[in-house]
Structure 1
Amino acid sequence: MPDLPDHDRFRSGALRSEFTPGSTRWAVRRAQWTALGLSPEEQRRPKIAVVNTSSKLGICFSHLDGIAELVAEAIREAGGLPFEIRTTAPLDFVTSAGRKARYLMPTRDLIVNDVEAAVEGAVLDGMVCLSSCDKTTPAHLMASARLDIPSIIVPGGYQLGGEYRGCSVDIDTVYESVGAVQAGTMSAGQLGELADSAIKGPGVCAGLATANTMHVLAEALGMTLPGAAPIRADSERMRGLAAEAGRRIVGMVHEGLTARKVLTVDAIENGIRVAMALGGSVNCVRHLAAVANEADLDLDVIGLFERLGRDTTQLAAIRPNGADQVWDLERVGGVRAVLRTMLPLLHRDALTVTGRTLAEHAADAPEADGAVLHRLDDPVRSEPGLLILRGSLAPDGAVVKVAGAGNARRCFTGPAEVFAGEDAAIAALGTGGITEGSVIVLHGMGPRGGPGTVFAASFVAALNGAGLGGKIAVVTDGELSGLNQGLVVGQVMPEAADGGPLAGVRTGDTITIDLDARVLATDPARDGAPVTSGRPGQERGWLGQYAALVGPVQQSAVLRRPRPAGG
């Protein structure tokens, strides 16, 4: 059989991994794989990557090696040939330690390239991606869209919290309690005891932070099997679905069901609706935009959040947005129940990795229970959980998770207090140097300004821990956590490093955040030279390469493609 262009192989029904007998590629690969103990018959099977984005650095990934083995065995049972692929494995609460978390955002795109090099370099037929902490799920979705091969996401699931002094605690409790130490209401020793009690099992943060948000959105996009999110990590249900994904991917290869047949405009719009209805992490905005970008969809995702938000309401209040826990959402039916509830607003015919439509999956899902998951006619909030603000301070938009704003004022006007980074802001918090009624501005911390988005999330958590969350607003182009609460405006676009208006803000300027008008404005509106928190032009290594390649955050901060010759 003559070699065919890779994507034509799916249309022809042949395996793209089958090389012409007698060719160089066929011969040298056969030598390698025979030495691994693979028979000639096995080598003719569909070749599937099990993308295990895992490491021993943190508890989020600690179960994935076992899950990878389950998936691989299921692939073999279904007639496929599995190959485990390892990639960079960022963990927000560990990888954030270096360089003020500058490595976190760049690892998303590093994983995409990692997957491309391994899977496309070997010309494998499909992949099952084991997704866990914050950046891994968007990276796997982006890689799926870029490679356009049969792909399934297996969400790694959430971790369980523990107990400290008779109270339920989790990583969110630890995160916010740093502010209590700064305020003098908790000792460092007590914080250490709390940290030792906070996590009781593998998986991602137990709240609807970025990791669980992206797990949920992977299912809403149609890229997981039904019922995959949210799910307790390493539970029997999760292990069963992982094995089922291993069997299903072989069928997808034979059917030619590639990622871009699932990741369509309709799918992205469905994902946006679900993100707003659940009040997901602010970071999902840039991640959904990045998936659309890699799928070559010509979409204004920021504009879609605005347009679709006009008739989308918040249907659940999952911690940190409210008292219900992520396992409560799993108990009442998870994403399948959300999709059934929202079906009148969704694209019903959007295809999923099962080969069936979203509406078919939702047909036998549980109905909204009315307590954890509300009906469309009885929402938790009569607006979406995520809002896009625009105005003189954010002409290209900014994101606020109104679902987590609590009792903050709908219209907040106050003087700016500008800080170069969160360390200085946290220090000021500890000395009483931050005034109630002010708007804390942390700028120069976006993808280009870091380079790599610099943490602002720890300051926001500390602010809440100090009891000031509803009394002070925060505006930043830095990295936020989906666990953050309060009136926090993030992903201000353009970022200060691109000369956005945030660069011109000075301490004492008046800033207005108006949630009803969806406005973020400053008075006076000043022009400012680009502001960076690092020295992008002087970075070496990966951060230097990232600084040279990363695009504007309003275009999802993906790595820019080289221009065609003469372009």
Structure 2
Amino acid sequence: MLYPLGFRREEFEQKDLIGIASTWSQVTPCNMHIDGLAREAAAGAEEAGAKALIFNTITVSDGISMGTEGMKYSLVSREVIADSVETVAAAEGMDGLVAIGGCDKNMPGCLIALTRLNRPSIFVYGGSILPGCYHQQKIDIVSVFEAVGAQAKGDLSLEELAGIESHAIPGPGSCGGMYTANTMACAIEALGMSLPGSSTELAVSKEKRTGCRAAGAAVARLIESGIRPRDILTRKAFENAITVVMALGGSTNAVLHLLAIAHAAEIELSLDDFRRIGKRVPVLADLKPSGRFAVADWTEIGGLPPLLRRLLEKGLLHGDCVTVTGSTLAQNLDRIDDYPTDQEIILPFEKPIKPQGHIVILRGNLAPAGAVAKLTGKEGLRFTGSARVFDSEEGALEGILNGSVVPGNVIVIRYEGPKGGPGMREMLSPTSAVMGRGLGKDVALITDGRFSGGSHGFLVGHICPEAAVGGPLAIVQDGDRITIDAEKEEIRLELPEEEIERRRAAWTPPAPRYTKGVLAKYRALVGSAHLGAVTDGEGLLQEAR
């Protein structure tokens, strides 16, 4: 079967077979260029004496599906990607792998697969997009969503909205702020599973093409040395990744994805690890969505490696963790120069954006198993308001745009969790509408769904247990008082316990929204968000039966 693919007889026994898992498609700009990067990785593997086979897996565009029923397939795609990469590599007996991903779920999906397979492997990020430009202002995908809210408020014309839409995405690459794709790219490099500097090489750069070729060659060396993903993905490595996510003000999706990758690696990791590390790591990066700069600006001054070195020198990283270079993290950073002295993107430890991490783990009678808040400090640390309850994202968006959400409200969006959606949609449309209508400092938004890395404001997601399985969010009513207190790490429904129990006794679960197809299968298998929303957790198959 391999003869028509260009193999010679002697190569079957003499050369290692390296699979190049490509997430190329024309579905999204994040992945439109990855076919070329896959060919570079294959060339690098063959130059190093191996044989390469390129194969594809799926991707979906969060930006296109956002705010629609289609977004329910986004988190599902992480599992499909992981399963498909594992299936091809295991079936074809590949000795090593390079996985190249560009959009949000490609990246953890690929890491989960590489970890399950535990064959010498490297992940390569497809790279960040360049900013768009409109009226001499840098814009990006989040600019579009926020412009929708501004237009609904009457602050922006339809013509201006169309202009922002048509200029926000100038070419290949993932969304250009510290959104989920860039957050996960940096986390994966901190884990040690990408070559140094890979996470901040831009999609349309010479460095990205060179980095892909180097990754192909590096896997050949990993096969020789015998270093495998589970040698790299230790508990210390996950602590390094969490540290970097905190320092960057990264996406809350990193919590969900790092928990899932740790599950695949059989490493104990919990929400409490994010809580513990967040208390000692400041937010240092002034990057979008809440900051001023794009990742492309950060790349110009050196990208991630100088920040890693600063964190290491401050004693916040484990330098002894092995990486895909075969060297330790500390050895990789030994000759890295610091940022220019006049840069304003990465702040000094003495003047951080926030002295502790922006990801705050909350618990309380609304989230007994935990919830994830994203608070950079610009939103305040405490919010008490009256509940405005919606049973879907669409209902919440309509309420925000038509003015029925008012200052002082806590917007509650429920039945959007992993099982309830199913699929745990991101709430970028409602959160962007809030910002566009000028309510960012006047309302809070809580949900058992999750948030885009582009979301910002007073936000709490991943509320567990979710409403669909009888979590407390299910019994909240319009007008109830809700308090979110980041300092006390608490989210509380201000009701007597007797009233809460009365409502619980009267609650009945909603009928499943899907009974056939991939969403029905996902609903049957998926676990809680506080455990990573994995589909292969212990006991889930038995529970489904």
Asked if the contact 1:496–1:531 (Cα under 8 Å) also holds between the matched residues in 2, the reply is no
Structure 2 counterpart SS, 1:356: coil
Structure 2 distance, partners of 1:282, 1:565, is 28
Change (3 A) 1:282 1:564: closer
Q: 1:376 aligns with which of 349, 356, 368?
A: 349
CA distance, structure 1, for counterparts of residue 509 and residue 28 of structure 2 = 30
- Over aligned residue pairs, what C-alpha RMSD do you find? 2.0
Displacement of 1:565 in angstroms is: 11
Task: Give 2:404's aligned residue.
Answer: 433
Q: Tell me the residue number matched to 2:527.
A: 551
| Gaps in structure 1 of 5+ consecutive residues | 1-31
- The answer to whether the 8 Å contact 2:469/2:509 transfers is no
What letter matches 2:361 in structure 1?
I
List per-residue Cα deviations over 1:336-393 (Å, max 9, x = no partner): 1121111111111001000100111122222255732233344222111211111111
CA distance in 2, matches of 1:189, 1:230: 34
1:327 corresponding residue in structure 2: 296
Instruction: Tell me, yes or no, if the aligned pair for 1:450 and 1:532 is still in contact at 8 Å.
Output: no
Residues 267-276 or 423-432, more deviating: 423-432
Q: 1:331 to 1:564 in 2, by over 3 A?
A: closer
Aligned partners of 1:171 and 1:151: how far apart in 2? Answer: 32
| Identical amino acids, percent of aligned pairs | 37
Deviations 1:101-135 (A, max 9, x none): 11001110111000111001111011101110000
Per the alignment, residue 474 of structure 2 pairs with: 503
Q: Distance in 2 between matches of 1:398 and 1:85?
A: 38
In structure 2, relative to structure 1, the CA distance for the partners of 1:213 and 1:319 (3 Å cut) is same
Question: Secondary structure of the equivalent of 1:366?
Answer: coil
Separation (CA, whole Å) in 2 of partners of 1:534 and 1:461: 30
Moved more, 365-374 or 387-396: 365-374
CA deviation map 1:65-124 (0-9, x unaligned): 111111111111111111111111122112447525110011101110001110011110
| Maintained 8 Å contact 1:174/1:194 | yes
Q: Distance in 1 between matches of 2:296 and 2:183?
A: 13
Among 392, 401, 405, the residue aligned to 2:365 = 392
Aligned counterpart in structure 2 of residue 101 of structure 1, from 52, 63, 71:
71
Tell me the SS of whatever aligns to 2:177: coil
Please state how far the C-alpha of 1:551 moved relative to its aligned partner. Answer: 1.1
One-letter amino acid of the counterpart of residue 163, structure 1: C
Post-superposition CA distance 1:387-426 (Å, at most 9, x none): 11111111221112212x63x2321100000011222222
Correspondence 1:20-99 to 2 at 5 A:
32-44=1-13, 45-96=15-66, 99=69
Does residue 1:453 correspond to 2:405, yes or no?
no
- Match among 104, 120, 131 for residue 90 of structure 2: 120
Check conservation: 1:392, 1:522, Cα contact below 8 A: yes
Length-normalised TM-score, structure 1: 0.90
Q: What's the CA shift for 1:490? A: 1.0
Matched-pair contact (CA < 8 Å) for 1:155–1:229: yes
For residues 260-271 of structure 1, the aligned pairs below 5 Å read 260-271=230-241
Q: Specify the alignment match of 1:474 in structure 2.
A: 445
CA distance in 1 between counterparts of 2:395 and 2:452 reads: 19
Please tell me whether residue 309 in structure 1 is matched to residue 282 in structure 2: no
Cα distance change of structure 1 residues 48 and 280 upon mapping to structure 2, 3 Å threshold: same
Tell me what 2:268 maps to: 298
Cα–Cα, structure 1 residues 487 and 531, in superposed 2: closer, same or farther, change >3 Å?
Answer: farther
Pick one of 202, 208, 214 that aligns with 1:232.
202
Residues 1:442 and 2:413 are matched in the alignment: yes
| 1:311 to partner: Cα distance | 1.4
State whether residues 383 and 484 of structure 2, in contact with CA within 8 Å, keep that contact through their aligned partners in structure 1. yes
1:193 CA drift (Å): 2.2
SS state of the match for residue 492, structure 1?
Answer: strand
* 2:318 is aligned with 1:341: no
| Cα 1:120/1:96, change in 2 over 3 Å | farther
- Deviation track 1:173-205 (CA, whole Å, cap 9, x = no partner) reads 112111112212223343222111111120000
TM-score normalized by the length of structure 2: 0.94
Counterparts of 1:106-255 in structure 2 under 5 Å? Answer: 106-255=76-225
Cα pair distance change 1:532/1:244, threshold 3 Å: farther
Say whether the 8 Å CA contact 1:74–1:244 is kept in structure 2. Answer: yes
Structure 2 counterpart of 1:285: 255
Would you say how many aligned residue pairs link Structure 1 and Structure 2? 532
Q: Is the 8 A contact 1:208 1:318 kept in 2?
A: yes
Equivalent residue for 2:512? 535
What is the deviation of 1:221? 0.5
Greater alpha carbon shift after TM alignment, 168-177 vs 218-227: 168-177
Contact residue 273 and residue 308 of structure 1 kept, 8 A: yes
1:560 to 520, 531, 536: 536
Aligned 1:360-371 pairs, distance under 5 A: 360-368=331-339, 369=341, 371=344
Contact 1:443 / 1:531 at 8 angstroms: preserved in 2?
Answer: no
Q: Distance in 2 between matches of 1:137 and 1:531?
A: 37
- Is residue 67–residue 393 contact of structure 2 (8 Å, CA) maintained in 1? no
| Counterpart-to-counterpart distance in 1, 2:119 and 2:272 | 29
**Contiguous gaps of at least 5 residues in structure 2:** none
Aligned to 1:239, the other structure's residue is in SS state: helix
Secondary structure at 2:30 match in 1: helix
CA shift at 1:566, angstroms?
Answer: 11
| 8 Å contact from structure 1 (residues 412, 514) kept in 2 | yes
Partner of 1:494: 465
Structure 1 range deviating more: 369-378 or 170-179? 369-378
Partner Cα separation in structure 1 for residue 170 and residue 361 of structure 2: 36
Provide the secondary structure at the position in 2 that maps to 1:103: helix
2:227 to 257, 281, 287: 257
Checking the alignment, whether the CA contact within 8 Å between 1:444 and 1:532 is kept in structure 2 is no
Residues 254 and 226 of structure 1: CA distance in aligned 2, closer, same or farther (over 3 Å): same
Q: Distance in 2 between matches of 1:120 and 1:534?
A: 38
